[in-house]
Amino acid sequence: MAIRRGRGVAAINYPTGMNLGGDPTQALVHSTPTGNFMVTLSSVDLGQGMKQIMAQICAETIGVPTDRVVVDTADTDTGPHCMGTFASRGTHRAGNAVIQAAREARQVMLEVAAEELEVNASDLETDGQGNILVKGAPQKSISIFDVALSAHFKRGRSISGRGMFLIPRSYPEKETGAMKPSTCYAHACTVAEVEVDDETGEVTVLTMKNVFEIGRALNPKMVEQQLVGGSWMGISHALYETTEPYYPNRDHGGTDFNQYLMPGPGDLAQTEIIVLERPSADGPYGAKGPGEMCANPQIPAVANAVFDAVGVRIDTLPITPERILRALKAQAGAPN
């Protein structure tokens, strides 16, 4: 009896959004009288940080610092339609809608600034710090604060924009299955290293090295929190979780976090995250949706590592100590 070490690899891709169901999201953007910007949506922030990302996208597009943008979301009386936050679609769909709305608002903002500065709007640029400058003559400038005041009280303009993003629904062809499930895919390759105790069947995941290709890391810190969390969830799915531990008997399913097995902090592997960025053709600043796929490759990587360690295949999830021990016994020729 011994502790045996093994490693396994898995490589995957994952579609962004739900093209097979129809997938629209809308956004509205407007300025306040003092040149802050409101983004109005009905999208849901599940805790992954959607509000922050929409603020950064709007800020980038209009050309102001992110702290000048407030996101008001998920009130059906005020927010325009969003299909929902699922299918790795939130950033991609709502982000594109926000960009379109912000571009329209930016255009009005530049037109008002042009009137104030007596130049053409096409000769203006933003400095990203809250000012609008004449290209090539930056001493000639106006603050966005003053532009907003002018628009509201002098010029009678609404600095606002409407955004809509829709990929037309794809209907699978009946006989061939020809379809377009997605316009962009995120990618991953994970290497898991495990130790398996061949006496108890217990698996310890030592390291989880994940490479994710996600289009563009819009906010690297938030990307990291999502990808690390996903990697942990993958370990949990591979080794621990089931709502029916005695299936086909449906009794004794976990009803709280004492009974429903998930890894605790001490059970989590040393986790490495490496991010590659191949911008998607239709993503907001090239982003794809990594929210779901980041929890997938760890599962087969762990299964393959267990095989590498002890030479048995567990093809049924979760990979419990009981399943490993039964397989080891079968391999040794002993009755189960």
Q: Among 29, 39, 303, 312, indicate the residue that binds other proteins (CB under 8 A).
A: 303
Shortest CB 148 distance to other proteins, Å: 19
**Binding to other proteins, residues 164-183 (CB under 8 A):** 169, 172, 174-182
One-letter amino acid for residue 133 of the chain: L
Measured from the CB atom, is 58 or 159 closer to other proteins?
58
| Of 31-39, 102-110, 116-124, 215-223: span binding other proteins (CB under 8 A) | 215-223
Whole-number Cα distances in Å, 268 to 165, 186, 206, 310, 336: 39, 24, 8, 21, 30
29 forms part of the interface with other proteins (CB under 8 A): no
Shortest CB 68 distance to other proteins, Å: 10
220 forms part of the interface with other proteins (CB under 8 A): yes
CB 132 within 8 A of CB 67: no
Shortest CB 166 distance to other proteins, Å: 13
Binding mask 117-156 for other proteins (x = CB under 8 A): -----------x----------------------------
Compute how many residues bind other proteins; rule: CB under 8 A: 124
DSSP state of 284: G
194 forms part of the interface with other proteins (CB under 8 A): no
CB contact set of 184 (below 8 Å; sequence gap of 6+):
15, 16, 92, 215, 280, 281, 282, 283, 288
Measured from the CB atom, is 111 or 213 closer to other proteins?
213
CB 202 within 8 A of CB 261: no
Measured from the CB atom, is 132 or 295 closer to other proteins?
295
Measured from the CB atom, is 248 or 266 closer to other proteins?
248
Whole-number Cα distances in Å, 95 to 50, 61, 213: 9, 11, 18
The Cα–Cα gap between 173 and 33 comes to 52
Q: Among 6, 35, 63, 290, indicate the residue that binds other proteins (CB under 8 A).
A: 63
Whole-number Cα distances in Å, 289 to 56, 146, 258: 16, 38, 33
213 forms part of the interface with other proteins (CB under 8 A): yes
Measured from the CB atom, is 116 or 277 closer to other proteins?
277
CB contact set of 169 (below 8 Å; sequence gap of 6+):
19, 20, 21, 22, 23
Please calculate the CA angle 127-41-63 and round it to the nearest 5 degrees. Answer: 5
Measured from the CB atom, is 47 or 136 closer to other proteins?
47
Q: Among 114, 299, 309, 310, indicate the residue that binds other proteins (CB under 8 A).
A: 299
Measured from the CB atom, is 156 or 248 closer to other proteins?
248
311 forms part of the interface with other proteins (CB under 8 A): no
Tokens of 55: 């603020």
The Cα–Cα gap between 91 and 55 comes to 11
9 forms part of the interface with other proteins (CB under 8 A): yes
271 DSSP β-pair partners:
208
**Binding to other proteins, residues 228-287 (CB under 8 A):** 228, 233, 237, 241-244, 247-248, 250, 253-257, 260, 262, 272-281, 285-286
What's the chain's length in residues? 336
The Cα–Cα gap between 244 and 272 comes to 32
Measured from the CB atom, is 56 or 150 closer to other proteins?
56
